[in-house]
Amino acid sequence: MLIRRLYAHERRLYADHLKRLEGDDRRLRFARGGVSDGWIDDHVAGISSGDLILAALDDDRVVGAAHLALGTTVAEVGVSVDADHRTGGIGSSLLTQAVAFARNRRAEKLYTLCLSDNRSMVALARRTGMAVRFQGGESEAFLDLPPPDPTTVTQEISTGLFAVFHDWAELMDCYSEAMVNAVPPLTLARSG
């Protein structure tokens, strides 16, 4: 599964992904009710240009995403995965990448707010090493982040390179197809 940063002009793909979250999933993702398609459009339009959206892509479809909102010292993360792609490790991969990207931007703490009944997110946060604090219906998860190191920088670089090679391979496929279509079929020269 290709995981890479989404460019600003691709944020519509992120909105489409969020709109595929149904009923309770929207409440769990945003820890609030009343999340309509219109609310999602406004939310995505309001995302700061300094934030990072890491996306898991299946062709051009965003099947999972981590939104990393970068404050001065705290990075807040929200994760979501399309229902038909869950329990395959995409959520964990996104959260692990988000940790590296946050460290590379010198965030000192990773934070996420989720509802206490969100068992899969609580499991995911714990597996990433986050300390989870339950407060009634809501839970907050924190992770102290060390400064960047060669591993986190290499992780971010390899994510970028993988995306470039992936685009390159797609472009080569497109080029081969264009060449086949451009060359006229061989015709046998008639003798005599």
Ligand X SMILES: CC(C)(COP(=O)(O)OP(=O)(O)OC[C@H]1O[C@@H](n2cnc3c(N)ncnc32)[C@H](O)[C@@H]1OP(=O)(O)O)[C@@H](O)C(=O)NCCC(=O)NCCS
Which residues in this chain contact ligand X in the complex, by CB under 6 A?
Answer: 25, 28-29, 78-81, 86-92, 112, 114, 118-121, 123-124, 127
**Residue 33 or residue 185: which is nearer to ligand X going by CB?**
33
Return the residue matching tokens 């714990």: 126
Q: Minimum distance from CB of 97 to ligand X (Å)?
A: 12
For residues 141 and 130, is the Cβ–Cβ distance under 8 A? Answer: yes
* H/E element, 6: none
The total number of residues written for the chain in this structure: 192
Between strands 52-58 and 2-5, the pairing is antiparallel
Nearest residue relative to ligand X (C-beta): 91
**Residue 63 or residue 148: which is nearer to ligand X going by CB?**
63
Distance CA 99, CA 106 (A): 11
**Residue 29 or residue 103: which is nearer to ligand X going by CB?**
29
Residue 151 in tokens: 């591993």
**What phi and psi, each to the nearest 5 degrees, are found at residue 98?**
-60, -35
**Residue 4 or residue 29: which is nearer to ligand X going by CB?**
29
Q: Minimum distance from CB of 108 to ligand X (Å)?
A: 20
Q: Minimum distance from CB of 183 to ligand X (Å)?
A: 44
Q: Minimum distance from CB of 182 to ligand X (Å)?
A: 42
